[in-house]
Amino acid sequence: MKFSELGLNDALLKAIKRSGFEEATPIQAETIPLALAGKDVIGQAQTGTGKTAAFGLPILQQLEKHNKSIQAIVVEPTRELAIQTQEELFRLGRDQHAHVQVVYGGADIGRQIKALKHAPAILVGTPGRLLDHLKRKTIDLSGVKTVVLDEADEMLDMGFIQDIESIFEYAENRKHTLLFSATMPKPILKIGEKFMHDPEIVRIKAKELTADLIDQYFVRAKEAEKFDIMCRLIDVQGPELAVVFGRTKRRVDELTHGLQARGYNAAGIHGDLSQARRMSVLKRFKSSKLDILVATDVAARGLDISGVTHVYNYDIPQDPDSYVHRIGRTGRAGQNGISVTFVTPNEIGYMRTIEQLTKKKMSPLRPPTDDQALHGQLKIAKAEIEKLLGGDLSKYEEDANELLDNYSAVDLVAAFLKNLSKDSTEVKVKITPEKPLPYKGTGRNHRGGRGGRDNNRRHGRFNRNFDRNERPRTRRGHGNGHDFVIKNKK
């Protein structure tokens, strides 16, 4: 469905066209008319399906220009996602001069208070910082008409439900509420029952939720083998933009340093880095000045970056929902994507649980050899040489002729290729081993247990109820596996 059919005004249609959007995604096509009609909506959709525009466009259309109070608030689980939402709402509302402000923890609250005095029409924020401002009385939600909860299941996992309920009490004069979540556990539905009036439920079909445009592969490997195999895969597959997921902050640091040592253009983000550092890395990645982003689940949650072609799960996630969020970084806007998950023999049970959630089997992938990886590197090196040949080389001709007098042209080109290519066997990288996840699941997806994970997480911390003495279940993999060559779908 085209945006022009959804009842949006000319200013918003102009902004949509400028952003390069042509047709509405399913969540947008179903949500926008309901929201414009003032209906409460519960939308089940993943990150990357266009949720921000689904709730943002109706909010922007319904803003009263001369109203100086906060007219809408959007609650996001993380500061990265809050910042991205604010930026997108600002872009969409630029022609209407919509004032959108963002507040989040870890930033100077004094500066935020000063900015809030400029009367934003839309306020985006994380639950904790929103409550902080409410208690300080630096924001007033009495004039709020619309409340949006985005990534509600993630806020549930992070222990923000009580904070959200408090925010609702401050926004008691709201006219309608929009709630979006990738999954719909009972606590999320209870929020709908308590704070929403006859909500319309919009669900994306299961096949759209399982990321049909993403080719999902797994590599069965020992812990000590994973880094070298991943480097060889990167050499052969040549991703334009790739995200590598590690389970811990230490893992992200070691993977980042290892990739950099081998000459890859990589940088990492995790919760211990300063906000300025994280935003700097993300800005470079978004502008394609970085090829590889290494991240933990928390740091990368909700990232909306177009153009990611490959996701490498260096560590298998400890719950299936995280897997869905991870691979959702690729395969966006109708483009094909590839995910590769490294699985140790003792983690096969976790992989089976993930497959049941996504309703799609991961295909086995045979790692490339060192020779095949070198061939991939040489292909990239030759492409770089072709680019160099397009420039002005006249000032190097004298030295080039001198070299040709002493060496053959073949030897010189071979030396140049060797310098440009990265032989992964030359730089030794040691990644600290981590124990495989102890699997005690039944192979079924249920939020109460999710592979032994305690669901009662509070503000980003959670307890693990793993039975450390139970031996993990193991199952055999799928045959011998596909070759490393991956063909995109037509």
Cβ–Cβ < 8 Å for 27, 5: no
Residues with Cβ < 8 Å from 373, sequence gap 6 or more?
A: 231, 232, 235, 236, 424
The reply to whether domains 3-208 and 210-368+427-452 share a CATH topology is yes
Q: How far apart are CA 62 and CA 146, in angstroms?
A: 10
Residues near 323 by beta carbon (within 8 Å), at least 6 away in sequence: 313, 316, 317, 341, 354, 357, 358
Helices marked H in 151-219 — which ranges?
152-157, 161-170, 186-195, 206-209
How confident is the model at residue 455, as a pLDDT?
35
pLDDT score for 368: 84
pLDDT value for 48: 63
- State both tokens at 90: 């600002």
Return the pLDDT at 204: 74
Contact 252/270 with Cβ under 8 angstroms? yes
Average pLDDT across each block of 10 residues of the chain; the chain has 490 residues. List them in order. 90 86 85 95 79 94 93 93 91 92 92 93 96 95 95 86 92 93 84 90 62 84 93 89 92 95 92 83 90 84 76 86 80 78 89 82 87 72 78 84 86 77 73 71 39 35 32 37 43
Cα–Cα distance between 68 and 437 in angstroms, integer?
A: 52
CATH of region 210-368+427-452: 3.40.50.300
DSSP, residue by residue, 212-258: TTEEEEEEE--GGGHHHHHHHHHHHH--SSEEEE-SSHHHHHHHHHH
Print the SS3 string covering 248-314: CHHHHHHHHHHHHHCCCCEEEECCCCCHHHHHHHHHHHHCCCCCEEEECHHHHCCCCCCCCCEEEEC
What is the second-level CATH architecture of the domain 3-208?
Answer: 3-Layer(aba) Sandwich (3.40)
Expressed in percent and rounded to 5, the helix, strand and coil fractions of the chain are 45, 15, 40
What is the pLDDT, as a whole number, of residue 205?
A: 60
Please report, for the chain, the start and end positions of each structural domain, with discontinuous segments joined by +.
3-208, 210-368+427-452
